[in-house]
Amino acid sequence: MTVDARNPTGQPLNPAERSRLVSESLRQMARVSRYNDPRQQLREARALRRRDFITPILFVALVVLPCLIGLAVFGFYLSDRYVTEVNFAIRPAFGATEATHNKDGGGAAGNLNQMIAQDTHLASEYITSRQMVEAIERQLPLREMFSRDSIDWFSRFDPDRSIEKLVRYWRSRVAVKVEGTSGIISVTVNAFDPHDSVAISKAILTESERRMNELTAKARQDALAESDHALQRAEGRLTELQIVEWGLRNRAGVLDAQKTNEANVKMIAQVREQRINLAVKLALLQRDLKDNARSIQDLKAQIAQLDATIAGLESEATTQDPSQHKVLADALTRFEQLNVDRKNAQTFYGLVIAARERARMIADRQIEFFTVVVEPSLPQSPQLPRRALWIGVVVAGSALAFGLSIMLRMHLA
């Protein structure tokens, strides 16, 4: 092969320059042939894999070991837990709402519904309280149920631990949920033996009913006692006003100031009517007779007497004389004020009597009942732990961690 190389000016190259150009061309051809050789690329990839020992380590550490541990723990080691569910609700007694509604137009019915809602909340809180744990522990060997040797180490309870630790452990085994619309309380108990789960559920149901009946009975008795105190205060106030009114009547010398005032007004009107008639008659006689006539003098005397009578009656209804203690106007004012106070006291007394009657009705009868919706039944198979779910979570998490680690290495490389 002949290569006719020339320089940029078009002149032939000398032997030294020709040798340099030939060597450079040979190197470029060798480089291109090396890049296009598949065998060479395969050898380089194998060499690279032999040098990459971090990826297998990451795979073992992030995928193999976690999956094996998750399979061993969730698949074989963790103990089976049996779940028992019980649903109950606090309901008003049949006819209680209607009876209270007819008494006062629905006010007592609203109070009854509010009391039932409060008792529902109290029952849900009581189930997870320390008092419930202590009550259940008096009925069942609670510590023994949760500390058997067959239970896995993670779920086992140490029987020598304090009551506070037992209450915390109890809340991990008992779940309470209240439906807002229906008020149904749902209690789920998970234990390591199906019979233990049912026994605990029944004990919770019995103790909750006993506690709610105790609280409602105490509340009813307290309400009845409070209504009795209010009734006594209302009776005392009404009696006090009646005694004051009687004393005022005795001091004023009248039995009823209002009736006395009405009688005086009527008498004054009658006397004024008589005076008007006499004045008209006097005017007619004065046209025909002289002023010194006997009949005219008699009429004038009668008119003067009637004027004195009217003035006396009017003076009894005014306070022109401060020393007069039996002035009808002052007595009437005091009687009117006492009458208003007495009527208010009588109205309040009637309301207190009605409230006391409602409290007595509530105290005498059980207005709410502990209704069981779903009875506890013996579970046939364990529901916890969810082994397949947790094993799948471990596998997915391991694969994700391994993929992220590979991407991070590639990014850093």
| Amino acid residing at 223 | A
User: How many separate domains does the chain show?
Assistant: 4
Do 185 and 86 lie in a common domain? yes
Do 102 and 170 lie in a common domain? yes
The crossing angle, in degrees rounded to 10, of helices 107-127 and 194-252 is 140
Q: What is the pLDDT of residue 100?
A: 47
Q: What is the pLDDT of residue 97?
A: 46
Q: What is the pLDDT of residue 139?
A: 93
Q: Is residue 402 part of a domain?
A: yes
Do 94 and 215 lie in a common domain? yes
Do 198 and 215 lie in a common domain? yes
**81-to-146, 190, 191 alpha-carbon distances in Å:** 11, 6, 5
Do 197 and 87 lie in a common domain? yes
Across the strands, what pairs with 384? 81
pLDDT in tens, 323-344: 444 555 566 677 777 777 778 8
Could you tell me if 332 and 263 are in contact, meaning their C-beta atoms sit under 8 angstroms apart? Answer: no
Do 265 and 215 lie in a common domain? no
Q: Give every CB contact of residue 109 below 8 A, 6+ residues apart in sequence.
A: 97, 100, 101
Q: How far is Cα 212 from Cα 311, in angstroms, rounded to an integer?
A: 76
Range of the domain at 315: 261-325
Q: What is the pLDDT of residue 130?
A: 95
Do 217 and 88 lie in a common domain? yes
| Amino acid residing at 256 | D
- Reference 349, options 231, 228, 241; nearest CA is 231
Structure tokens at 379: 């579970």
State how beta strands 368-374 and 82-92 pair: antiparallel
Do 216 and 159 lie in a common domain? yes
Q: Is residue 26 part of a domain?
A: yes
Q: How far is Cα 241 from Cα 309, in angstroms, rounded to an integer?
A: 36
Do 120 and 205 lie in a common domain? yes
Across the strands, what pairs with 188? 85, 175
Q: How far is Cα 241 from Cα 347, in angstroms, rounded to an integer?
A: 13
Q: What is the pLDDT of residue 200?
A: 96
- Give the residue carrying structure tokens 């050789």: 37
Q: Is residue 334 part of a domain?
A: no
Q: What is the pLDDT of residue 317?
A: 54
Q: Is residue 332 part of a domain?
A: no
Low-confidence ranges of the chain (pLDDT < 70): 1-13, 29-52, 93-112, 245, 248-264, 313-332, 361-367, 413
Q: Is residue 1 part of a domain?
A: yes
Q: Is residue 249 part of a domain?
A: no
Could you tell me if 91 and 368 are in contact, meaning their C-beta atoms sit under 8 angstroms apart? Answer: yes
Structure tokens at 314: 């009017």
Q: What is the pLDDT of residue 56?
A: 85
Do 204 and 86 lie in a common domain? yes
Peptide bond into 385 cis (omega under 30): yes
Q: Is residue 344 part of a domain?
A: no
Q: What is the pLDDT of residue 2?
A: 47
Provide the CATH number for the domain around residue 377: 3.30.1890
Segment 350-355 long-range contacts (CB within 8 Å, at least 24 positions apart): 352/227, 352/230, 352/231, 352/234, 353/231, 354/103, 354/104, 355/227, 355/230
Do 217 and 133 lie in a common domain? yes
- Give the residue carrying structure tokens 């022109």: 320
Structure tokens at 361: 């009705």
Q: What is the pLDDT of residue 377?
A: 92
CA–centroid distance for 78 within its chain: 38
Q: What is the 3-state secondary structure (H, E, C) of the chain?
A: CCCCCECCCCCECCHHHHHHHHHHHHHHHHHHHHHCCHHHHHHHHHHHHHHCCHHHHHHHHHHHHHHHHHHHHHHHHCCCEEEEEEEEEEEECCCHHHHHHHHHCCHHHHHHHHHHHHHHHHHHHHHCCHHHHHHHHHHCCHHHHCCCCCCCCCCCCCCCCCHHHHHHHHHHHEEEEECCCCCCEEEEEEECCHHHHHHHHHHHHHHHHHHHHHHHHHHHHHHHHHHHHHHHHHHHHHHHHHHHHHHHHHHHCCCCHHHHHHHHHHHHHHHHHHHHHHHHHHHHHHHHCCCCCHHHHHHHHHHHHHHHHHHHHHHHCCCCCCCCCCCHHHHHHHHHHHHHHHHHHHHHHHHHHHHHHHHHHHHHCCCEEEEEEECCCCCCCCCECCHHHHHHHHHHHHHHHHHHHHHHHHHHC
Do 61 and 40 lie in a common domain? no
Q: Is residue 238 part of a domain?
A: no
Could you tell me if 282 and 300 are in contact, meaning their C-beta atoms sit under 8 angstroms apart? Answer: yes
